[in-house]
């Protein structure tokens, strides 16, 4: 199982993580333009001789073209199967870098150093890597675990409020999948002025929820589909907004997906209405609503049909019968999905 390290001294603990991997013949560092400027200085003391690769920032660069550029830079840097790659950045970097490492020379070892809240609790942990393709999120990728994930909420001082909110949506999802006590703690957390020390505790708790689920079902044959809560609808909104030229952060789309899928959970799985209303109120307060109309419903439905967890062309949702009680592989009538879209727009 991969090491999760909650780092107090990032440079020192990264050096220890590299040492655990023996003596790699080449150390590679992948950053984006932002993390190269803001986060790289934190680990500069251990980068002597590293081959550094910098790509454009944001999810629009999580493409086949960028992946090919990273492979080329790995070749230019003399990387071999005995090299070690460090992915320093948000979810785009850990997804892209993990996939590049998993496929170069049929796979080299890598370490993830997530620098955003979203990547700490989601992308950097659990072994999913990949790129967007054909206008669809994470359409091409592989399962490959980082040897070590180093987590430090000190990096969050470099983030704006929107990116904190984006990551917190995944934490709220994990709380809904876990238990009522964790869910209540997350609804009470002051997201507007976050306490980083308290947030570190919540992050560790959130990561453990995901690790527990992934350990039971690493390749998403069953239980791991629970982690798709909010994502079937969320990914559709993410793709729709990208098509409209109004790209949104992943966590905002997931939050809107949670609204719709909790609405469906009430109708299909008897999820408590008061729990749904409390969660939806928190989401509307912090994430607002997407800008869409009923004319977009058909396109959203088409986008959901591309979800990787579907079977025989049928959309499979992960719903809840209560906080901590997941119902996977639930098929829902199109009319109820449209009602959920109405609820998101008008409630």
Looking at the fold, whether 152 and 59 belong to one and the same domain comes out as yes
Looking at the fold, whether 120 and 96 belong to one and the same domain comes out as yes
Residue 124 has a pLDDT of 86
pLDDT at 208 over 70: yes
* Per-residue pLDDT band at 136 (split at 50, 70, 90): confident
* DSSP bridge pairs for 32: 55
Greater confidence (215 vs 205) lies with: 205
- The CATH number of the domain holding residue 108 is 3.40.50.1970
Q: pLDDT tens digits for 149-197?
A: 999 988 988 889 999 999 999 999 999 999 999 999 999 999 999 998 8
Please indicate, yes or no, if residue 273 is contained in any of the structural domains. Answer: yes
295 contact partners, CB below 8 Å, separation of at least 6 = none
d(Cα 121, Cα 6) in Å, to the nearest integer? 12
Please indicate, yes or no, if residue 210 is contained in any of the structural domains. Answer: no
Please indicate, yes or no, if residue 70 is contained in any of the structural domains. Answer: yes
Looking at the fold, whether 251 and 117 belong to one and the same domain comes out as no
Please indicate, yes or no, if residue 201 is contained in any of the structural domains. Answer: no
Boundary (domain end) residue, out of 134, 158, 182 = 158
**Nearest Cα to Cα of residue 204 among 258, 153, 250, 279:** 153
pLDDT at 62 over 60: yes
* Residue 313 lies in domain: 161-193+216-346
How many Cβ atoms are within 10 Å of 136's Cβ, its own excluded? 17
Q: pLDDT tens digits for 227-274?
A: 999 999 999 999 999 899 998 999 999 999 999 999 999 999 999 999
CA dihedral sign of residues 154, 160, 166, 172: positive
* DSSP bridge pairs for 149: 4, 112
- The CATH number of the domain holding residue 312 is 1.20.1090.10
Residue 308 has a pLDDT of 65
Residue 214 has a pLDDT of 87
The pLDDT of 288-313, averaged and rounded, is 87
pLDDT at 6 over 80: yes
Looking at the fold, whether 264 and 333 belong to one and the same domain comes out as yes
Please indicate, yes or no, if residue 199 is contained in any of the structural domains. Answer: no
154 contact partners, CB below 8 Å, separation of at least 6 = 10, 196
Looking at the fold, whether 9 and 140 belong to one and the same domain comes out as yes
pLDDT at 311 over 80: no
Looking at the fold, whether 189 and 228 belong to one and the same domain comes out as yes
Looking at the fold, whether 290 and 166 belong to one and the same domain comes out as yes
Count structural domains, the chain: 2
Looking at the fold, whether 138 and 174 belong to one and the same domain comes out as no
The pLDDT of 307-325, averaged and rounded, is 83
Greater confidence (258 vs 200) lies with: 258
Which of these ranges, 16-30, 206-220, 235-249, has the smallest mean pLDDT? 206-220
Residue 138 has a pLDDT of 85
pLDDT at 279 over 70: yes
Residue 60 has a pLDDT of 87
Please indicate, yes or no, if residue 209 is contained in any of the structural domains. Answer: no
Task: Tell me how far CA of residue 292 lies from CA of 80, 100, 297, in angstroms.
Answer: 48, 35, 9
Question: How many residues are there in the chain?
Answer: 347
Looking at the fold, whether 39 and 79 belong to one and the same domain comes out as yes
Looking at the fold, whether 42 and 79 belong to one and the same domain comes out as yes
Please indicate, yes or no, if residue 202 is contained in any of the structural domains. Answer: no
The pLDDT of 276-295, averaged and rounded, is 97
Residue 157 has a pLDDT of 87
Greater confidence (123 vs 91) lies with: 91
Is residue 110 within 8 Å of residue 27, measured between CB atoms?
no
pLDDT at 309 over 70: no
* Per-residue pLDDT band at 310 (split at 50, 70, 90): low
Q: pLDDT tens digits for 107-117?
A: 999 999 999 99
Looking at the fold, whether 188 and 316 belong to one and the same domain comes out as yes
* Mean pLDDT computed over every residue of the chain: 93
The pLDDT of 80-92, averaged and rounded, is 96
The pLDDT of 6-35, averaged and rounded, is 95
Is residue 111 within 8 Å of residue 14, measured between CB atoms?
yes
Please indicate, yes or no, if residue 208 is contained in any of the structural domains. Answer: no
Q: pLDDT tens digits for 323-339?
A: 999 999 899 999 999 99
Looking at the fold, whether 115 and 146 belong to one and the same domain comes out as yes
């Amino acid at each position: 199982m991969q090491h999760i390290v909650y780092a107090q001294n990032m440079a020192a603990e990264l050096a220890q993580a590299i040492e655990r991997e023996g003596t790699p013949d080449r150390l590679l560092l992948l950053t984006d333009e932002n993390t190269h400027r803001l986060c790289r200085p934190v680990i500069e003391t251990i980068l002597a001789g590293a081959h550094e690769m910098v790509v454009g920032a944001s999810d629009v660069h999580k493409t086949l073209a960028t992946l090919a550029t990273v492979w080329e830079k790995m070749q230019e840097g003399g990387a071999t199967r005995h090299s070690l790659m460090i992915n320093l950045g948000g979810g785009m970097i850990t997804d892209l870098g993990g996939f590049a490492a998993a496929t170069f020379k049929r796979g080299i070892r890598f370490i993830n150093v997530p620098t955003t809240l979203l990547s700490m609790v989601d992308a950097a942990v659990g072994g999913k890597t990949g790129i967007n393709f054909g206008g669809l999120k994470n359409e091409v990728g592989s399962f490959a675990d980082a040897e070590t994930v180093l987590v430090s909420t000190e990096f969050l001082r470099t983030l704006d409020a929107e990116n904190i909110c984006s990551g917190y949506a995944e934490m709220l999802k994990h709380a809904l999948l876990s238990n009522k006590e964790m869910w209540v703690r997350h609804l009470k957390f002051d997201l507007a002025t976050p306490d980083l020390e308290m947030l570190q505790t919540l992050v560790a708790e959130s990561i453990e929820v995901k690790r527990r689920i992934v350990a039971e079902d690493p390749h998403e044959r069953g239980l791991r589909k629970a982690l798709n809560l909010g994502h079937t609808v969320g990914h559709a909104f993410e793709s729709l907004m990208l098509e409209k030229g109004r790209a949104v952060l992943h966590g905002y789309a997931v939050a809107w997906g949670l609204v719709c899928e909790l609405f469906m959970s009430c109708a299909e799985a008897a999820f408590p209405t008061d729990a749904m209303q409390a969660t939806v109120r928190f989401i509307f307060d912090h994430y607002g609503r997407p800008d869409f109309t009923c004319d977009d419903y058909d396109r959203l439905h088409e986008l959901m049909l591309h979800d990787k967890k579907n079977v025989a062309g049928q959309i499979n949702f992960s719903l809840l019968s209560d906080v901590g009680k997941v119902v996977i592989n639930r098929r829902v009538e199109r009319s109820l999905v449209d009602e959920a879209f109405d609820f998101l727009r008008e409630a």
